[in-house]
Structure 1
Amino acid sequence: MMKRAIVRPPSKSYRKCISSHPLHHTLDFNLALEQHRKYCSTLSELGLEVIRLPPEDDYPDSCFVEDTVILHGNKAAIARPAKKSRQGEETSIEEVLKDYKQILRIEAPGTIEGGDVIHLEDSLISGLTQRTNSDGIYQTASWLGVKIDVIEDSSIVHLKSYVTFVGGDTIVTTKHFVEHPLLSDYSKIIIPEHEAYAANTLTCNGSVLVPAMHLDSIQLLKDAGFDVIPLDVSEFEKCEGALTCLSIIF
């Protein structure tokens, strides 16, 4: 059972987030705040102590706290984000985690972001992507003392936009990675192309959070026996963030 979640609400600078989403210009900041509150209350209802950090106006993407760290066991690898505008978000996260974990910072030229790292039962998979490089993966694996397999795709931002682990032997994925050999031993719930955003699910203490409005994907997970909680995160999708991005759960 997971015990805690670190979260941070969107800041007043949130509209300046890194995004090429076609609906970014329609972003509703007040709705984003409301969606974030609902997200936090859901985590609390699932039994987590929700550690709420204050917004950081200097970092428009700072509500996406997942990217700042990779956790395993009693250790934390503090990430080094690829985008200069995000470097610094990790500082306040480190301050919180040092009370719970042994800490190491990833150093240049390494880059790695939590949105690239899938936590399996006893190993990790990292994307080698636009945001995470080989040196970042090597430093992270060396510090955490865990095997990290690699899925390379320089065309994507984060691996967990396409693949998430929902427990047991099951992953949720789009067709993009369904044939990848590293995933061959897993049962797969394949998200339909028109609902690709729903591939980013968040599994927590027996429930699977799924973006609301993706009804076909929700039904697929229910049919597979999962307890599904739909959540509206439309204003985070417009900044190219998703459910896992909004918390650090441990």
Structure 2
Amino acid sequence: MGSSLKRAIVRPPPSSFRGCISSHPLVGTLDLDLALHQHEKYCHELEERGLDVIRLPPDVSHPDSCFVEDTAVIHKSKALLTRMARSERRGEEISVHQVLKDYLSTKVIQAPTTLEGGDVVHCEKFFISGESQRSNLVGIREMETWLGIEVRIVSDPRIVHLKSHMTYLGKNTMVVTPSYAKHPILERFDRIVIPEEEAYAANTLSLGDLVFMSSRHRRSIQLVKSAGFEVLPLDLSEFEKCEGALTCLSLLF
């Protein structure tokens, strides 16, 4: 399976990154220099796969702004710019919009709608979206209408983002945490259930037949390899401390 993706919008972590929204016990040990190095490695690997990497400047006023995935949801020729649930993140989407409007038809959602890209799992013929702490039903329905694609919903007010619990690899295969492994919305998928202690590895990034995965979770990597996928391990330890992962760091289209 080839990838039709051509571009990736990215933004490095700002000097204020230690102020990210996070309940991770190690957030206080975040190493900004290491985070910048890990981010540059991530961008390099995207470029190596033929993507045009569009680099936005760091946004010191928004500590979480490197997590650009949350700012928009894209399908075919359209992009829906989101409204974040957390007020301190609102405004991150403005500079992303400035880029996207040169390539796509865009729309900006308004209050009381909330929607974040980290809730949206892209499958071939439909999306699966979390109705979560960050995305509400109004936002999900507006996404479905504007982008013109069916959206199936997982309602769980306990979660922040659905893509922390499942991501789509292609070939009708989903990587999923044990808590969602038997969810009826996944019954027609082949499922790779990762160990509970490696739940962070549920967030993967697929480009064609290659799967980017967290290098810190070796059992999960082996499970994905055993299912016939090629894996590129990447260390994103510092982003994990801010409760971010692989898909969070880019907006692909």
| Counterpart residue number, 1:218 | 221
State the Cα distance separating 1:123 from its structure 2 match.
0.7
State the Cα distance separating 1:206 from its structure 2 match.
2.1
Gaps of 5+ in 2: none
Matched, 1:77 2:57: no
Question: For residues 113 and 16 of structure 2, what CA distance do their matches in structure 1 show?
Answer: 27
Question: For residues 110 and 182 of structure 2, what CA distance do their matches in structure 1 show?
Answer: 33
1:97-145 deviation line (CA, Å, top 9, x unaligned): 0011100111110000000000000111100000000111111111111
| Counterpart residue number, 2:31 | 28
Correspondent of 1:162 among 160, 165, 171 = 165
User: Do the aligned residues in 2 keep the contact of 1:24 with 1:239 (CA within 8 Å)?
Assistant: yes
1:4-26 deviation line (CA, Å, top 9, x unaligned): 11000000111100000000011
User: Do the aligned residues in 2 keep the contact of 1:77 with 1:143 (CA within 8 Å)?
Assistant: yes
Question: For residues 109 and 95 of structure 2, what CA distance do their matches in structure 1 show?
Answer: 15
Matched, 1:196 2:203: no
Gaps of 5+ in 1: none
| Counterpart residue number, 2:71 | 68
Matched, 1:176 2:187: no
Correspondent of 2:61 among 45, 55, 58 = 58
The alignment-based identity, stated in percent, is 56
- With normalisation by structure 2, the TM-score equals 0.98
Question: For residues 108 and 59 of structure 2, what CA distance do their matches in structure 1 show?
Answer: 20
User: Do the aligned residues in 2 keep the contact of 1:129 with 1:156 (CA within 8 Å)?
Assistant: yes
User: Do the aligned residues in 2 keep the contact of 1:3 with 1:48 (CA within 8 Å)?
Assistant: yes
User: Do the aligned residues in 2 keep the contact of 1:125 with 1:151 (CA within 8 Å)?
Assistant: yes
Question: For residues 45 and 94 of structure 2, what CA distance do their matches in structure 1 show?
Answer: 26
- With normalisation by structure 1, the TM-score equals 0.99
Look up the equivalent residue of 1:224 and give its one-letter code. Answer: A
Q: Map 1:21-170 onto structure 2 (within 5 A).
A: 21-170=24-173
Question: For residues 61 and 129 of structure 2, what CA distance do their matches in structure 1 show?
Answer: 28
1:165-203 deviation line (CA, Å, top 9, x unaligned): 000210000011111111100000001011110000000
Question: For residues 175 and 214 of structure 1, what CA distance do their matches in structure 2 show?
Answer: 15
State the Cα distance separating 1:213 from its structure 2 match.
1.8
Question: For residues 206 and 48 of structure 1, what CA distance do their matches in structure 2 show?
Answer: 15
Look up the equivalent residue of 1:174 and give its one-letter code. Answer: T
Correspondent of 1:11 among 6, 11, 14 = 14
Question: For residues 207 and 32 of structure 1, what CA distance do their matches in structure 2 show?
Answer: 23
| Counterpart residue number, 2:237 | 234
Give the SS at the match of 1:127. strand
Question: For residues 71 and 91 of structure 1, what CA distance do their matches in structure 2 show?
Answer: 15
Look up the equivalent residue of 2:208 and give its one-letter code. Answer: N
Aligned length: 250
User: Do the aligned residues in 2 keep the contact of 1:46 with 1:205 (CA within 8 Å)?
Assistant: no
Give the SS at the match of 1:103. strand
Question: For residues 198 and 156 of structure 1, what CA distance do their matches in structure 2 show?
Answer: 16
Question: For residues 107 and 205 of structure 1, what CA distance do their matches in structure 2 show?
Answer: 34
State the Cα distance separating 1:3 from its structure 2 match.
0.9
RMSD: 0.6
